[in-house]
């Protein structure tokens, strides 16, 4: 596990950005394999992000661990550490912020929600489909979708996004989680490459 050793050395030196990069490489190599190695890689990422002062990103990686039904002693310890560190009320107070959706291979799709200056909100999606060899060739597909959000900040719909009238995109926000539902039909995913989508579950990592 060379990536684990490289990442651990960087972590011990306080070079957290390099440590995170090494642990992401470690994750790519074990994601489809041994559960114990997967849990080790994810816990490395959780801890490195906590030490780097990015509790939101640590929570995102914790979510990946929980989605994989990992519950070892380190994961349980980090569950408590993240809960103690992350300011959930501040993060969930407003829709505005950065949201991530995990796509495998240490790759995240991003959603940015900002104020539009008229009392409403604007959404900017940057979906990514990782593919099998993202480290060598980059993502298999990317996309870009922007528009106005109409709603009460909890239930919202995307408008003015240059989509056909039948291509609805709905957002439902609960705490730091946000679910996006979209219509899958001809022409509705023309904002990106093959297999791209903005639908799914996102987690808010920063304001």
Are 167 and 79 found together in one domain?
Answer: no
41 and 127 share one domain:
no
pLDDT digits (tens, 9 = 90+) for 47-105: 999 999 999 999 999 999 999 999 999 999 999 999 999 999 999 999 999 999 999 99
For 198, other C-beta atoms within 10 Å of its C-beta total 25
CATH number at residue 193: 2.40.128
Q: Is there a single domain that holds both residue 151 and residue 118?
A: yes
Domain boundary among 49, 64, 86: 86
Residue 129: which of 147, 102, 153 has the closest Cα? 102
Helix H or strand E encompassing 49: helix 35-51
List Cβ neighbours of 50 (8 Å cut-off, separation of 6 or more): 58, 78, 81, 82, 85
Q: Is residue 37 very low, low, confident or very high in pLDDT (cuts 50, 70, 90)? A: very high
Residues 1 and 37: beta-carbon distance below 8 Å: yes
Residues 44 and 140 in one domain: no
Mark whether 103 and 119 lie in a shared domain.
yes
> Are 78 and 119 in the same domain?
no
SS3 21: helix
- Reported as a single tens digit per residue, the pLDDT across 44-63 is 999 999 999 999 999 999 99
Q: What is the DSSP letter of 125?
A: E
Gap between the Cα atoms of 33 and 13, Å rounded: 29
The yes-or-no verdict on residue 124 having pLDDT over 80 is: yes
Final residue of a structural domain among 53, 86, 119: 86
Q: Which one of 70, 86, 102 terminates a domain? A: 86
What range does the domain containing 27 cover?
2-86
Pair 98, 71 in one domain = no
Our count of domains for the chain comes to 2
pTM: 0.95
Q: Coil, helix or strand for 55?
A: helix
Same domain? 139 vs 118:
yes
């Amino acid at each position: 596990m060379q990536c684990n050793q490289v990442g651990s050395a960087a972590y011990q030196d306080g070079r957290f950005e390099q440590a995170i990069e090494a642990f992401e490489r470690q994750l790519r190599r074990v994601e489809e394999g041994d559960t114990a190695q997967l849990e080790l890689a994810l816990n490395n990422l959780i801890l490195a992000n906590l030490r780097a002062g990015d509790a939101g990103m640590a929570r995102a990686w914790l979510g990946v661990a929980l989605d994989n039904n990992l519950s070892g002693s380190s994961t349980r310890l980090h569950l408590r550490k993240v809960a103690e560190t992350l300011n959930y009320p501040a993060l969930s107070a407003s829709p505005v912020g950065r949201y991530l959706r995990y796509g495998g291979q240490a790759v995240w799709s991003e959603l940015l929600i900002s104020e539009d200056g008229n009392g409403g909100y604007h959404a900017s999606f940057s979906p990514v489909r990782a593919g099998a060899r993202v480290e060598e060739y980059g993502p298999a597909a990317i996309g870009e979708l922007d528009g106005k959000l109409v709603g009460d900040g909890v239930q919202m719909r995307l408008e003015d996004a240059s989509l056909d009238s039948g291509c609805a995109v709905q957002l439902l926000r609960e705490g730091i989680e946000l679910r996006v539902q979209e219509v899958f039909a001809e022409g509705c995913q023309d904002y990106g490459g093959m297999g791209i989508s903005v639908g799914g579950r996102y987690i808010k990592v920063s304001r």
